[in-house]
Structure 1
Amino acid sequence: MNENASTSSSAPHGTAPDRAPVLIVGGSIVGVSAALFLAARGVAPILVERHTGISRRLRAKLFHPRTMEAYRAVGAADDICAIERDRPRSEFAAVVESLSGAEIRRWRLPAADDYSAVSPCQGAMVKQGDAERVLRMRAATDGADLRFGHHFVEWEQTGQRATARVLDDRGVPYTVEADYLLAADGSASSIREGLGIARSGDLALASSMELTFTADLRPLLGGRALALAFADQPGRPFISWTTGQDAGAVSVGYDPATTDPDTAFTPDRSQAIVSEALGLPTASFRVTGARPWQMAAWVADTYRVERVFLLGDAAHVCPPVGGFGANTGIHDAWNLTTKLVSVLLGDAGERLLDRYEAERRPVAELTVRQAAARSDAVGCASPVRWPWWPACCWACRPSQRVRRRPRHRTCAWRPGTCCGRRTGGTASRRRPRIITSRHSRRPRRRARPARRSSAGTGTCGCTGGSLPTGAACGTCRSCGTAR
């Protein structure tokens, strides 16, 4: 199937409306997954998406084993895994001086672990655009009516159906009647806003500028099996790239209270940021775009209003660390479509649909909290944070509340030295608890307390010198705090 073409023509203006059991608004990874899950089980939906092609933006590329289980059930898992077999393996994330420089530390991504003991599927490291291309073809083959280039305008709920007004790819209006309407139209969902559904959480956790580029990254990566990297540089650039390693993006944080992105990120400065993050001269790459975006962590207050359901980013948004966003949305689609198939085929009553929000919203709340905690742990939740502070130096670590400034704006700690900052009550603050499975790496243990002397002073675990009560040793991760 041509990804830029719709699979059916719209109804001519003035004729009877098109009819479908389910209308899906939004054709990204969640919407097209919902279309496939329905079509593969005998319910042919209509999907409308205003864009014709697949977005070139770097989005998800980690698909967890549970997600692959859902795709396996509808016959798409093998096609997605076949893409991965043709690309360099990506199993690790790392903190680097630059992408071409030394690695400071690395860790294995949970999606890359071996889950054969608990699942028939392994995780997949595939670019979202490649996965969407497979899902579009499978959904169309199974009978889904995919209409790309068609613009959803408005809708109303009347009795036993939802009626939507749509503009086709020539701008001609037509009407679609459906038993149910699925809103998979993204974080700025017009359907959610039209229903007046509020959101709970942080709508602006941090601000970043995404600088996209093209470059041959294969010599830099050198078979290291990295999926992403964080550069230990000012603004803490986050570096990601396509699975083909021929293009990527550098996202750098900024403070919107003091920085105007339109004037701060000039072409010359954008070139310099990408050059420093990659460790390449400016002649070795080309910056292709700049886009500001806001990291957020929120959940919609309700997932359903009568015959309209929210799923994916229309229902919840979480920070990108961990790759939870797309996977959680795909699980929404799997849960909801399973129930819709049972109701539409007469195997269950409509009361079954009430379980969708009860089952999926708590999962989203937990997932958003976890993603925010993990973002905080790697320093992604605030542009003024330092990326890799000593575990014991809480005086120099910013507060958990992202809008507060840190107590100390500067902390020139180095391994084996002591900053001697006084902490008061800050040193005893607990870190956000990160839930890990038995397959993933455990978080680093908290620092051991420093040795005390009988005179009420502590001993610095790094230098061996005495510290007065209330002082903190801001040095290596094994050093403690004296009070």
Structure 2
Amino acid sequence: MSVPSRTSVLIAGGGPVGLTLSALLSRYGVDHFLVEARPTTSRHPKARGISARSMEIFRRMGLEDAVREAGLPASQVFFYRGRDLVDPDFVRTGLAHRPSDGEPEHTLSPGLICSQDVLEPLLLRHARELAGDRVRSGTRLVSFTDDGRGTDAVVEDVASGSRHRVRADWLVGCDGTGSTVRTGAGIAMEGPTGLGRFLSVRFEAPLGATVADRASASYFLTAPGSGGFMAVDNDRHWIYQHPLAPDAEPAPDLTDRDHLIRLVREAAGIPDLDVTVRDTMTWRMDARLADTYRRSHVLLAGDAAHAIPPTGGHGMNTGIGDADNLAWKLAAVTAGYASEALLDSYGAERRPLARRIIDISTDNARHRTAYRIDDELLLTAAYRSTAVLAGPDADAAGPSTLDPTGYHPGCAPGRRAPHVRLTGGEPGTASTLDLIGPGFTLLTTADSPAWRQQAETAARAGIPVVARALVTGTRQEADPGRWDRLCGTPEPRAAVLVRPDGHIAWCASDPGDTPLLPVLRSLLSAP
């Protein structure tokens, strides 16, 4: 096994979060090495819902079409509630906060259902296309030490037992709720455990015709039925999450196929259903948050940083957002145009959001028959940190926030840059979001030689930034003037500085007011 003795970033964990981080680091040109203990990708569906914000990130990575093709059709993104699959009094609802006909669209990349066992192979293939054998399955992180300048790690080939030392400037734990990285860094978790305990049964059964008039992405089973929920990947392949007694009770016998088949039949409401059990696992619902996302040269992302109840479908999506936020900051620090202090903004921005998402998901768990899936919740994230220059009226010292009442587009610093549909121009630029990245992007409505000159000055100083105009000789806004209305900047010389992760860092009304280069250096905590 060829293992690098040194790398800029060592990623522990190759689930959706670690693989997304790897692909983004490759996009930014960052040398890295990813180790994943499992020899293959997940065999279990696990997380299933991919939110609009995650799909926007995948669009930026060039993966949106592949994920959408692999997922369930939009016509099936409904949520069923009934005592079993044949309950005549069932209720079926759709996604919350998805704009209806006549309302302005908020994204070109709405969410969909694509289960983790389908998503992971797509992400793994993409990460390996970009990084080759630097993305390694069947290899686990054994231990590490942090000397304040970097980490010395020991990794092991699981099959052979051979061990190797890897020196990394930064170690990122994307290794799940039982994180070796978090434990080794001495970072504690706070919050309750055991909110629920479930037996997950992956099975095959001919249920397509049974649910033809009520096809849904998830089937929530209510009293007086067996409880839990079922989900489908196609007509025959299903998953059943059966609620178990508290941890004090004995674990179920996962080898008793007759018992498992009875559970599925009772939940479906079909006593003679032809069931073939393919796989099982047990899992526990927790609501926990790491005390910090960074300790010295160690960082946490995804489930290593937060255990989010699945009631709402935000766990994996929050982790993908972590990777998006962290990747460009690691790129800036490892390239030398930002100081290490920039990485403190990662926890300042992401941890308060995870806290809010945990609270929302925990409340959903208490009201399982009433909550709705909000596809656009993560679009509402508004960051507050040193990596955002907020206006004089903003509470720059306050925490990052989410708005569960709905997404309201705008251009305030810290918020996601709004989507405005574009027409004409080069292929692949159907939205303002398509103009962003891979470095900083200075967006103006029309071409501005003064802003272009400022961006070129900053780029010559080593900071990746370009000035781009929404409107060109061929490219136009589908709704002329919408960008200026959303941003509240009708001045022809106004500009919006957008970070590589699509969040607004700074707004300016005139290139003569404040030079761009000092602003960028301030945002990057650069000397």
State TM-score, norm by structure 1.
Answer: 0.71
CA contact (8 A) 1:162 1:307 kept: yes
Task: Quote the residue 1:237 is aligned against.
Answer: 227
SS of equivalent residue, structure 1 residue 226: coil
Task: Quote the residue 2:406 is aligned against.
Answer: 437
State the identity %. 32
| Matching of residue 92 in structure 1 with residue 78 in structure 2 | yes
Work out which of the residue numbers 342, 363, 375 in structure 1 matches 2:353.
363
Residue by residue, what CA displacement relative to the aligned partner does 1:86-123 show, whole Å, maximum 9, x if unpaired?
x5843111112311332422221248666962223211
Does the C-alpha gap of structure 1 residues 113 and 260 become closer, same or farther in structure 2, counting only changes over 3 Å? farther
Does the C-alpha gap of structure 1 residues 271 and 112 become closer, same or farther in structure 2, counting only changes over 3 Å? farther
Does the C-alpha gap of structure 1 residues 258 and 316 become closer, same or farther in structure 2, counting only changes over 3 Å? closer
CA contact (8 A) 2:222 2:369 kept: no
Number of aligned residues: 373
| Matching of residue 34 in structure 1 with residue 21 in structure 2 | yes
CA contact (8 A) 1:271 1:282 kept: no
Task: Quote the residue 1:224 is aligned against.
Answer: 214
CA contact (8 A) 1:152 1:167 kept: yes
Distance, in Å, in 2 between the alignment partners of 1:264 and 1:138 is 34
CA contact (8 A) 1:304 1:357 kept: yes
SS of equivalent residue, structure 1 residue 57: coil
Distance, in Å, in 2 between the alignment partners of 1:294 and 1:177 is 35
Work out which of the residue numbers 129, 152, 165 in structure 2 matches 1:141.
129
Between stretches 106-115 and 227-236, larger displacement belongs to 106-115
| Matching of residue 347 in structure 1 with residue 337 in structure 2 | yes
Taking the TM superposition and a 5 Å limit, the aligned residue runs for 1:376-387 are 376-378=366-368
Task: Quote the residue 1:256 is aligned against.
Answer: 246
Work out which of the residue numbers 144, 154, 159 in structure 2 matches 1:165.
154
Work out which of the residue numbers 150, 155, 175 in structure 1 matches 2:144.
155
Give the CA deviation at 1:34. Answer: 0.6
- Which stretches in structure 1 are left out of the alignment for 5+ residues? 1-8, 12-16, 382-433, 440-483
Give the CA deviation at 1:272. Answer: 2.2
Distance, in Å, in 1 between the alignment partners of 2:58 and 2:14 is 17
Residue by residue, what CA displacement relative to the aligned partner does 1:256-306 show, whole Å, maximum 9, x if unpaired?
277433379954443222102112334511233443321111111111110
Distance, in Å, in 2 between the alignment partners of 1:10 and 1:277 is 49
SS of equivalent residue, structure 1 residue 24: strand
Task: Quote the residue 1:6 is aligned against.
Answer: none
Distance, in Å, in 2 between the alignment partners of 1:371 and 1:290 is 25
Does the C-alpha gap of structure 1 residues 248 and 214 become closer, same or farther in structure 2, counting only changes over 3 Å? same
1:36 counterpart letter in structure 2 = A
Residue by residue, what CA displacement relative to the aligned partner does 1:440-459 show, whole Å, maximum 9, x if unpaired?
xxxxxxxxxxxxxxxxxxxx
Work out which of the residue numbers 269, 285, 309 in structure 2 matches 1:279.
269
Give the CA deviation at 1:124. Answer: 2.3
Distance, in Å, in 1 between the alignment partners of 2:39 and 2:287 is 29
Does the C-alpha gap of structure 1 residues 107 and 265 become closer, same or farther in structure 2, counting only changes over 3 Å? farther
SS of equivalent residue, structure 1 residue 202: coil
Residue by residue, what CA displacement relative to the aligned partner does 1:310-367 show, whole Å, maximum 9, x if unpaired?
1100010111111100000000111011111111122311111110111110000000
Distance, in Å, in 2 between the alignment partners of 1:305 and 1:202 is 23
Taking the TM superposition and a 5 Å limit, the aligned residue runs for 1:59-74 are 59-74=46-61
Residue by residue, what CA displacement relative to the aligned partner does 1:219-243 show, whole Å, maximum 9, x if unpaired?
1221634010112245752233342
| Matching of residue 22 in structure 1 with residue 9 in structure 2 | yes
Does the C-alpha gap of structure 1 residues 336 and 223 become closer, same or farther in structure 2, counting only changes over 3 Å? farther
Residue by residue, what CA displacement relative to the aligned partner does 1:354-406 show, whole Å, maximum 9, x if unpaired?
1011111000000000001111111699xxxxxxxxxxxxxxxxxxxxxxxxx
Structural RMSD (CA): 2.7
SS of equivalent residue, structure 1 residue 262: coil
Distance, in Å, in 2 between the alignment partners of 1:69 and 1:116 is 17
SS of equivalent residue, structure 2 residue 209: helix
CA contact (8 A) 2:194 2:246 kept: no
CA contact (8 A) 1:116 1:122 kept: no
SS of equivalent residue, structure 1 residue 10: coil
Does the C-alpha gap of structure 1 residues 370 and 322 become closer, same or farther in structure 2, counting only changes over 3 Å? same
| Matching of residue 124 in structure 1 with residue 112 in structure 2 | yes
Distance, in Å, in 1 between the alignment partners of 2:98 and 2:240 is 23
1:97 counterpart letter in structure 2 = R
Task: Quote the residue 2:440 is aligned against.
Answer: none
Does the C-alpha gap of structure 1 residues 40 and 223 become closer, same or farther in structure 2, counting only changes over 3 Å? farther
CA contact (8 A) 2:83 2:224 kept: no
Distance, in Å, in 1 between the alignment partners of 2:226 and 2:366 is 13
Does the C-alpha gap of structure 1 residues 307 and 282 become closer, same or farther in structure 2, counting only changes over 3 Å? farther
Distance, in Å, in 1 between the alignment partners of 2:18 and 2:91 is 37
- Which stretches in structure 2 are left out of the alignment for 5+ residues? 372-402, 409-527
Does the C-alpha gap of structure 1 residues 289 and 342 become closer, same or farther in structure 2, counting only changes over 3 Å? same
Work out which of the residue numbers 183, 198, 201 in structure 1 matches 2:188.
198
| Matching of residue 101 in structure 1 with residue 70 in structure 2 | no
Distance, in Å, in 1 between the alignment partners of 2:127 and 2:242 is 37
Give the CA deviation at 1:42. Answer: 1.1
Distance, in Å, in 2 between the alignment partners of 1:166 and 1:223 is 51
CA contact (8 A) 1:239 1:248 kept: no
Give the CA deviation at 1:161. Answer: 1.9
Residue by residue, what CA displacement relative to the aligned partner does 1:178-222 show, whole Å, maximum 9, x if unpaired?
111010110011221222222111122122222332213321221
2:21 counterpart letter in structure 1 = A
SS of equivalent residue, structure 1 residue 216: coil
Distance, in Å, in 1 between the alignment partners of 2:38 and 2:247 is 33
Distance, in Å, in 2 between the alignment partners of 1:176 and 1:318 is 31
Between stretches 276-285 and 108-117, larger displacement belongs to 108-117
Bigger radius of gyration:
1
Residue by residue, what CA displacement relative to the aligned partner does 1:24-62 show, whole Å, maximum 9, x if unpaired?
000011110110111112113211001111111121221
Distance, in Å, in 1 between the alignment partners of 2:150 and 2:213 is 54
2:2 counterpart letter in structure 1 = S
SS of equivalent residue, structure 1 residue 132: helix
